[in-house]
């Protein structure tokens, strides 16, 4: 990890007077608002989710006036940026792509081979011990090899922030004693598979059981028609895009949001206590200097700012290494703050965003993954077929048992894209009428046939995204940003006396 650690130099002396004036100006305004609210209501807020509607409403307004409105360098995913980390550059539901963890990648990330100490024939870092708290935390975050994992650039930035936080004398009366991830990534693939299993069980009970012996369900096309009607009545989703834009996911599903303190997310009293903690300013500063911002609504929540120059060294090393070799004037991952700042200024941040956030409407989620759209429908049908291979039909005075049709992959290739368009239209609440949908589905199908002919997975993704745009993207224009607003100087405005308090 030596190549990702960044030296943070504090040079506050020259700005101390200016910073103190800024601090006093902010505090005086904030204190004025706070005192007005206290005089009127007797408290800022003690609301929780179990409070009355009136108390919750007024409490959240008061909280926002006293705290949110005075916080700078934050990412507010409640009021201002609810789609942060959820959409592509052009508004399609998307996220940072998390690839399965491999043993080789884990070995590289942990820095095995960087030190001289050996176990067997393998050189290891000093902290690589069975009882190492840091190692235990990292392995718990990353999970097992072969599973979808937290983006490695997030873990690398967290490790450096955590280590740096411990290098300063921390106020002993503080609740904030370390930077530790207590609530992390919700593995979206696992959640999606669980959702699919629950849908099939409901489908089986509510619809399929009535067709176990019926000729009205003779093949996968009949099965699909039943499934489609079932989805129309329940609001369930079976596409990955539909799942990720639904309320079934959480902010943690983006892979960019992490809670660093164990407290009640609904308690304004606990949030106020955290804001007023003597170590809060330093806590926020350290996060900012390592590419994170807090959510002002939950001050212990850290959100990775992928447009920050401080996050760039981690992104360039662990997520987009090829960008540092193809961009003009760049020669691989940067290693010092000065080099990283210079490199960041040469990078096209819109391209970074475009490369980081991959739309869920892509070939893998459509055909390749175990939980892909096509595989989901096939597996559901095969599961039903395994228990109900035949249906009965009366022929004169006899009962004839007829086998249900097996899968015909060649025939199904003519169905998948049309079916995808129909299901997504249902999941989005039918924005397109029958004629419009048929037209869109036909065009997408023709693009898909061309993709099959040329074995072009990107063209398949283009067909899927054509459908998504036709149905209406989740947040068109919501991913606009300005890189100039995200660059932070080493001596960012910070309370001069907060170190060593």
Q: What is the pLDDT of residue 134?
A: 67
35-65 pLDDT, tens digit each: 999 999 899 999 998 999 999 999 999 999 9
For residues 6 and 312, the answer to whether their CB atoms sit within 8 Å is no
The more confidently predicted of residues 398 and 336 is 398
pLDDT band (50, 70, 90) for residue 233: confident
What SS3 string covers 425-490? Answer: HHHCCCCCCHHHHHHHHHHHHHHHHHHHHHCCHHHHHHHHHHHHHHHCCCCCCCCCCCHHHCCCCC
Whether residue 194 is found in the same domain as residue 137: no
- Read off the pLDDT of each residue in 120-129 and give the average, rounded to a whole number: 44
Helix (H, G, I), strand (E, B) or coil at 403: strand
Least confident of 50-59, 72-81, 346-355, 487-496: 487-496
- Residues 332, 454 within the same domain: no
**Number of other CB atoms surrounding residue 124 within 10 Å:** 18
Same domain, 137 and 274: yes
147 and 291 inside one domain: yes
Residue 497 DSSP code: G
pLDDT band with cut points at 50, 70 and 90 for residue 491: very low
**Average pLDDT of the residues in 286-309:** 94
Residue 88 lies in a domain: no
Does the pLDDT value for residue 498 go beyond 50? no
* Predicted confidence band of residue 238 (pLDDT cuts 50, 70, 90): very high
The model's confidence at residue 483, banded by pLDDT at 50, 70 and 90, is very low
**Contact, 308 vs 486, CB < 8 A?**
yes
Give the tens place of pLDDT for each residue, 374-416: 999 999 999 999 999 999 888 777 888 899 999 999 999 999 9
| In a domain? residue 466 | yes
Closest to 492 measured CA to CA, from 138, 22, 132, 26: 22
Strand ranges inside 152-291, DSSP E? 257-259
DSSP annotation of 405 reads P
Same domain for 193 and 142? Answer: no
Whether 4 is in a domain gets the answer no
Q: How far apart are the first and last CA of the chain?
A: 30
| Interval 105-121 mean pLDDT | 55
pLDDT classification of 497: cutoffs 50, 70, 90:
very low
On whether both 125 and 202 belong to a single domain, the answer is no
Q: What was the pLDDT predicted at 9?
A: 47
Where is pLDDT greater, at 278 or 140? Answer: 278
If asked whether residues 104 and 167 sit together in one domain, one would say yes
Residue 380 lies in a domain: yes
Residues 136 and 266 both lie in one domain: yes
Q: Per the domain annotation, does 98 fall within a domain?
A: yes
What SS3 string covers 161-179?
HHHHHCCCCCCCCCCCCCC
State percent of the chain over pLDDT 90.
51
Q: Is residue 84 part of a domain?
A: no
**pLDDT of res. 112:** 53
* CA dihedral of residues 306, 311, 314, 315 (deg, nearest 10): 20
Q: What is the mean pLDDT of residues 82-109?
A: 84
Phi and psi based region of residue 24 (left: phi greater than 0; alpha: psi -120 to 50; beta: remaining): alpha
Its domain, for residue 219, covers 188-248+361-430+432-471
Instruction: Please check whether residue 75 lies inside any domain of the structure.
Output: no
- 409 and 295 in a single domain? The answer is no
Would you state the torsion angle of the CA atoms of residues 455, 456, 460, 461, taken in this order, to the nearest 10 degrees? 150
pLDDT at site 329: 60
For residues 291 and 150, state if they share a domain: yes
Greatest mean pLDDT among 85-94, 98-107, 412-421 lies in 412-421
In this predicted structure, the answer to whether residue 265 has a pLDDT above a threshold of 80 is yes
pTM of the model: 0.83
Per-residue model confidence (pLDDT) at position 173:
85
Q: Which of 167-171, 226-230, 427-431 has the lowest mean pLDDT?
A: 167-171
Backbone angles phi, psi at 133, to 5 degrees: -60, -40
Domain count, the chain: 3
Give the number of other CB atoms < 10 A from CB of residue 430: 13
Answer whether residue 196 is part of any domain: yes
Residues 225 and 214 in one domain: yes
Tell me what pLDDT residue 330 has: 62
Domain boundary among 70, 86, 117: 70
Q: Has residue 335 got a pLDDT over 80?
A: no
What is the average pLDDT value for the chain, to the nearest integer?
A: 83
For strands 118-119 and 398-403, give the pairing.
Answer: unpaired
Q: Tell me: do 192 and 181 sit in the same domain.
A: no
């Amino acid at each position: 990890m030596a190549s990702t650690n960044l030296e943070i130099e504090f040079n506050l002396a020259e700005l101390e007077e200016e910073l103190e004036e800024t601090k006093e100006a902010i505090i005086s305004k904030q204190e004025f608002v706070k005192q007005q609210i206290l005089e009127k209501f007797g408290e800022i807020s003690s609301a929780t989710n179990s409070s009355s509607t009136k108390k919750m409403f007024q409490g959240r307004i008061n909280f926002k006036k006293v705290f949110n409105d005075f916080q700078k360098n934050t990412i507010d995913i409640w009021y201002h940026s609810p789609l942060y980390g959820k959409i592509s550059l052009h508004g399609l539901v998307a996220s940072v792509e998390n690839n399965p963890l491999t043993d080789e990648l884990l070995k590289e990330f942990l820095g095995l081979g960087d030190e001289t100490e050996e176990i067997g024939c393998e050189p290891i870092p000093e902290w690589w011990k069975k009882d190492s708290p840091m190692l235990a935390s990292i392995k718990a975050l990353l999970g097992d090899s072969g599973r979808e994992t937290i983006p490695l650039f997030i873990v690398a930035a967290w490790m450096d922030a955590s280590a740096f936080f411990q290098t300063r004398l921390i106020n002993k009366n503080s609740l904030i004693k370390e930077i530790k991830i207590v609530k992390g990534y919700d593995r979206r693939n696992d959640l999606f598979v669980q959702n699919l299993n629950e849908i099939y069980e409901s489908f089986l009970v509510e619809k399929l059981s009535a067709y176990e012996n019926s000729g009205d369900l003779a093949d996968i096309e009949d099965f699909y028609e039943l499934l489609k009607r079932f989805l129309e009545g329940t609001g369930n989703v079976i596409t990955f895009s539909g799942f990720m834009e639904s309320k079934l996911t959480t902010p943690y599903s983006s892979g960019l949001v992490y809670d660093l303190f164990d407290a009640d997310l609904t308690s304004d009293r606990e949030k106020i206590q955290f804001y007023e903690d003597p170590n809060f300013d330093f806590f926020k500063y350290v996060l900012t200097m390592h590419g994170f911002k807090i959510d002002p609504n939950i001050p212990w929540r850290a959100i990775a700012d992928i447009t920050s120059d401080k996050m760039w060294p981690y992104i360039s090393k662990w997520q987009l290494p090829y960008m540092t070799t193809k961009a003009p004037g760049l020669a691989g991952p940067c290693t010092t703050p000065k080099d990283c700042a210079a490199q960041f200024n040469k990078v096209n941040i819109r391209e970074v965003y475009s490369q980081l956030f991959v739309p869920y409407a892509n070939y893998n989620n459509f055909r390749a993954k175990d939980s892909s759209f096509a595989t989901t429908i096939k597996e559901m049908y095969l599961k039903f077929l395994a228990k109900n291979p035949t249906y009965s039909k009366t022929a004169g005075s006899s009962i004839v048992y007829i086998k249900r049709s097996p899968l015909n992959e060649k025939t199904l290739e003519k169905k998948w894209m049309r079916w995808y368009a129909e299901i997504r239209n249902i999941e989005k609440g039918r924005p397109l009428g029958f004629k419009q949908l048929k037209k869109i589905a036909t065009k997408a199908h023709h693009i898909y046939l061309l993709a099959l002919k040329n074995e072009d997975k990107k063209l398949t993704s283009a067909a899927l995204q054509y459908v998504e745009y036709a149905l209406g993207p989740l947040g068109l224009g919501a991913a606009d940003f300005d890189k100039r607003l995200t660059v932070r100087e080493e001596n960012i405005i910070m309370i001069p006396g907060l170190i060593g308090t």
